[in-house]
Amino acid sequence: MKTVSIIIPFHSEPVYTVFNVLASINNQVGIDFEKVEVVLVNDGGPELPNGKDTFRLLKNLDIIYLRLREGHGPGPARQMGMNHAKGQYFMFMDADDQFHIDGALLDFFNLTDQNDYDLIAGKYMEQAKDINTGDLYYVFHNNNENYSIFSKWFNRNLIEHYHIRWANDLRVFEDTYFVGLAYEFAVNIKYIDAIGYTWLYNNRSTGRSTEKPGVSFDDQLHVWSRSRRYFLEAVQKYHPERVEDLFVNYVADIFYRQKKFEPVDPAEFTKENQRLLREFSSYWLPARSKIMQTIIDYNNKGTIYADLSNKDAVKFLFETEQSALSDQIYTQEGK
């Protein structure tokens, strides 16, 4: 069995861009490449000139090339890659990114020789762009982020035991959902104290914040609510004792999130939000006071919502309670 399968979806990236990310794998040092496979998934983009032979100069790589006829988004493409992967661990890279150092994989391999970890997480750098000057700059990300796929190895045993899969209908927040579940269920997590990955700037990426409505992931609040419902449903199946606290966190967060980011589709957001509230309405009354306290805590200095007012929190809670405890007939729709 391979130790790690590195899964890379791509859609419209030029061949040279895909070559660059593959080259950053090919140029890793100190590892046995017999233990590494690369699963390259073409998500409905143009066919490669010569299939995987397009990258035949990268002699160290064992490449599995898969192609979807139509674009389904990064989540389903990654799932297809996982379905064909043979590695004990799954790692995900974006096609327009690269490893930060040539010893990035060695740091992971050294740990797998010591223990059978559920999840291994390293640090990474984000290349960002100043919206005023156009200058590029770098942001450091620590190794304890439980929402980003970058610089992480996920153990196959964890993924299969808890049936963690990429959701077909999440075009954004798909990684927050997947990674969040992995962290929720993982018991044995190891952190690497090194920067191993670079998330390069791409202004066409759905993972980038912009000021254009409907372009950034930030204003897709209907998808956020849907992803949180999926998350709560999965946790309820395996760790029901955790659901109340997670429900509290969702309600407190959505109070501020819809203030900070205007929903691009208010009707869909209302629908998805109400569906979550009604599905988990049994947690509302026991957790009412905890929700209010969490709203206050989320507004403390240093938090991402520190600049937002919570003066209308009581009104929000009253209206939300009506949604959660509505006596109207609510027909659940299938995913």
C-beta separation of 308 from 261 below 8 A: no
Element housing 20 (H / E):
helix 15-26
Q: What pLDDT does residue 206 have?
A: 57
pLDDT tier at 202, thresholds 50, 70, 90: confident
Angle between helices 266-279 and 243-260 in degrees, nearest 10: 160
Distance of alpha carbon 278 from alpha carbon 148, whole angstroms: 29
Top pLDDT among 262 and 302 is at 262
Lowest mean pLDDT among 115-119, 201-205, 314-318: 201-205
C-beta separation of 84 from 51 below 8 A: no
pLDDT tens digits, 15-46: 999 999 999 999 999 999 999 999 999 999 99
Model confidence at 332: pLDDT above 70: no
Domain covering 4-199 assigned CATH 3.90.550.10 in the classification: yes
A 10 A CB-CB count for 159 gives 20
What is the residue-wise DSSP string for 252-313?
HHHHHHHHHS--SSHHHHHHHHHHHHHHTGGGHHHHHHHHHHHHHHTTSTTSTTTTS--TTH
pLDDT tier at 1, thresholds 50, 70, 90: confident
Q: What is the mean pLDDT of residues 92-103?
A: 97
Model confidence at 328: pLDDT above 70: no
Model confidence at 158: pLDDT above 80: yes
Q: If we measure between CA atoms, which residue out of 110, 78, 87 comes closest to residue 36? A: 87
Angle between helices 74-84 and 174-185 in degrees, nearest 10: 50
Q: What is the mean pLDDT of residues 55-59?
A: 96
Distance of alpha carbon 45 from alpha carbon 205, whole angstroms: 15
What is the residue-wise DSSP string for 173-214?
SHHHHHHHHHHHH-SSEEEEEEEEEEE---TT-TTS--SSTT
pLDDT tens digits, 286-327: 999 999 999 999 998 888 899 999 999 999 999 999 888 875
Model confidence at 215: pLDDT above 70: no
Q: What pLDDT does residue 326 have?
A: 72
Model confidence at 333: pLDDT above 90: no
Model confidence at 213: pLDDT above 50: no
Model confidence at 212: pLDDT above 80: no
Q: Tell me what the pLDDT averaged over the chain comes to.
A: 92
pLDDT tens digits, 241-253: 999 999 999 999 9
Distance of alpha carbon 79 from alpha carbon 9, whole angstroms: 10
Domain ranges in the chain are 4-199, 221-324
Query: What is this structure's pTM?
Result: 0.92
Q: What pLDDT does residue 207 have?
A: 58
pLDDT tens digits, 170-188: 999 999 999 999 999 999 9
Lowest mean pLDDT among 84-88, 194-198, 319-323: 319-323
